[in-house]
Structure 1
Amino acid sequence: MKFLVCVKQVVDTSQMEVDPATGRLKRNNANSIMNPMDRNALEAAFALRDQAGGRVTVISMGPPQAAAVLKEAISMGADEAYLVTDRAFGGADTLATSYTLSRAIEKIGSFDLILCGQESIDSNTAQVGPEIAATLGMSDVSAAVGISCEKEGFLTVERQMGDNREVLEMKLPGLITCTGELNKPRYPSIKGILKKEEVEVKNLTAADLNVDAARIGMKGSPTQVRQVRPVVPPKKENLRIEGGTAEDAADELTAALKKLNLA
C-alpha cells in the first residue's frame, strides 16, 4: 500500500513568542516542532505498513526550515519526503493550503491512504484534512481513535463522537485525520537517524505544480489572521469582608459580584 502523511512545522505553544511590531508569531527553528497529532498520523501509517506492507511518504507545506520536521519523520521511519515551499504560498489560510497540498499530492502520484493530524496546535481549525479529501474527491473520516485493516480495499475506523464511539468502514482510497488518542508515536531509531541524512527532501514550488495563482497564498485566502497574541491568565483578586453585620457583608459581596457581572 502507498501511504501519504501530511505533517506541519508549528510553533511550540509553550515557547510561543509574538513580534510586538507585526503581531505575528516568531517562527524559527528554536521554538518550532512537528505538530503533535501529525506524529500520531505517522505512527498510524507505520503500523499499517508493518501489517500490509508498502511505503510511507511525508509531505509538508512551509518555508525552507520546515524541512526539519520532514527529516524527523524520516528518522521515525518514513521512506521519502516532499516540501511544498514557495513565497507565493505565503499567508495561505486553510482553503488555500488544502488546495496547494492537493495539487502537490496529484503531482507526486496516487495513494491508497492519506493521513493527517486532526488539527494543528497553532490554529486548531481541523479543516485542512477534510478539505484535501474534498478537493481530491475521496472519502474521509475525521477524529480517528482506532484504525484497523480487516478487509482488502477497506479500513475500519473508530472515532469519538461526544460520549459515544462510532465505527465506520471506509473504502480506499481515502483520508483519515488522527487524534492524540489513536496511538503512541514511536521514537526515531539509530538506523532512522542515520537514514535522514541520506534521504533527500524534494522541494516543490509553484512552478512545479498545476496551480491557479488566484487560489494560492494570501490572494487565494478568504480568511486572514490579522494578529496573534498569547493567552494571558486572568488576575486573581481576593475580597475579604470584615466587621459589620451579616446584612452589611451580604451587601458588600453583592456589590462586588455586580462589578464582575456575576450578580
Structure 2
Amino acid sequence: MTREIVLDTETTSTDSKVDRIIEVGCVELVNHTPTGRTFHRYCNPQKAVHPDAFAVHGLSDAFLADKPLFAAIAPELMAFIGDATLVIHNAPFDVGFLNAEFARLPEPRPAEIRLDDVVDTLLIARRKHAGAANNLDALCTRYGIDRSRRTKHGALLDAQILAEVYVELLGGKQVGFDLGPVTATPTKVSAQADRPSAPRVFKSRLTDAERERHAAFVGTLKTPIWAEYLSESEG
C-alpha cells in the first residue's frame, strides 16, 4: 500500500525566513486514489499579510486574527501526515515554509523535511512537458480538470486539484477498472477485474499553441523521412 499526502500552503508573502504560513491543506491518497480524508487549518501568523499575497488568496488579517498559532496545529498536521510521502507542486516553496515553522517550535520539534523525500509535481510536469507552462492552472487546462472553483488560491482546494493533476501526470486513471473505495473487499476488486474493460478513447492533450509550433517546425523540414513512406503507399 502506497500512502501519500498532497499538501499545499498559503502564506503572508514569499520569504520563508520572515513570512509565515496562514493556511495548510492536505489530501490523503492511498495507491494514488483519494480516500476522502483531508486536513485543513488556518493559522494566525502574528504579522500582517502582504497586499500582493492577499490578492492571491484573499485571507485578511482580520479573518486570521482569531485563528490558532501554527504551533497549536503542528501536532495535528504531523499526525495526519504520519509516515506518508508528501506530494507538493513546487516543493521548495512549501517545504521551506514548513521547515521554518518547525524551527520556531519548542523541542521536541518535527524533523526537517528533506526535499529528496518529497514528490515535486512541478519537476514531473517539466520532464513530461518541457518548454510548456506547468503551473497548476496550465496543467488543469492540459488535462481537462475543472478549475472553475479556483477564483482564489486556497490550500485545501489547491491540494484537491493537485491530487487530480498528480494522477494524470502518473498516466491517468485505469479505464474500466474501478477499485471503488480503498477499503474495498478483495471480492469486489476481483469481480471488477473480471469485467471486460472498455476500449480507451485517445484524447489529445496538446494545446493549440503546441500544434501550431509543431506544424511550423514540420514546415521547415526539406524531406522528412515519413514523406517517402507516404509517397510509396499512395503510389
Structure 1 length as normaliser, TM-score? 0.28
Higher helix share: 2
Higher strand share: 1
The structure showing larger relative contact order (alpha-carbon pairs under 8 Å, at least 6 residues apart) is 1
Structure 2 length as normaliser, TM-score? 0.30
